[in-house]
Amino acid sequence: MNKKEIKTIVETYKRIYNVQEVVGIDKSDTIYELKFLLDSLGLKKERYIAENEVITERDELKSEKAEYKMIFDDFIKYGVYVNYDLEEIEMYYDDLQFRMNDEEIGCNTARIDYIKERKQIKVA
């Protein structure tokens, strides 16, 4: 596949995922099929990036987006793909700490703390 075909497939998935997550129209069957297709084509990272862009919009995470992206990039080094969901990140982070070096642990701990702090500010 060339880059244009990959971009077309990923953008199509992103639009359909957006319709379900932001607009609220059930597209779960289509999403399931496209997830399988993307993963089968070795585009799992691209799929998660598309999902995370939609989640950023849906949950209004613009101020935390950089931290989420850095955590996502660190987790990928260890073969772990996560969406921008703090609970999911913390669960995987507990397991990954044993494989990460001290610098990664310190940086990711600070990022997670920042995200928690921002969530508390939004709630208040």
Q: Give 21-48 as a DSSP string.
A: III----HHHHHHHHHHHHHTT-HHHHH
The pLDDT score that the predictor gives to residue 124 is 63
Determine how many CB atoms are found less than 10 A away from the CB of residue 37: 14
CB 13 within 8 A of CB 38: yes
Give the pLDDT of the chain (124 residues) as one tens digit per residue: 899 999 999 999 999 999 999 888 999 999 999 999 999 999 999 999 999 999 999 988 888 999 999 999 999 999 999 999 999 999 999 999 999 999 999 999 999 999 999 888 777 6
Q: Which helix (H) or strand (E) holds 45?
A: helix 44-58
In angstroms, the CA 68 to CA 85 distance is 9
The whole-number pLDDT of residue 51 equals 96
pLDDT of residue 54: 95
Q: Which helix (H) or strand (E) holds 60?
A: none
- The model's pTM is 0.88
Q: Which residues contact 46 (CB under 8 A, 6 or more apart)?
A: 6, 10, 38
Which pLDDT belongs to residue 7? 95
The pLDDT assigned to 63 comes to 86
What CA–CA distances, in Å, run from 112 to 24, 71, 95, 96?
28, 8, 15, 14
What pLDDT is recorded for position 69? Answer: 94
Which pair of structure tokens corresponds to residue 70? 């850095």
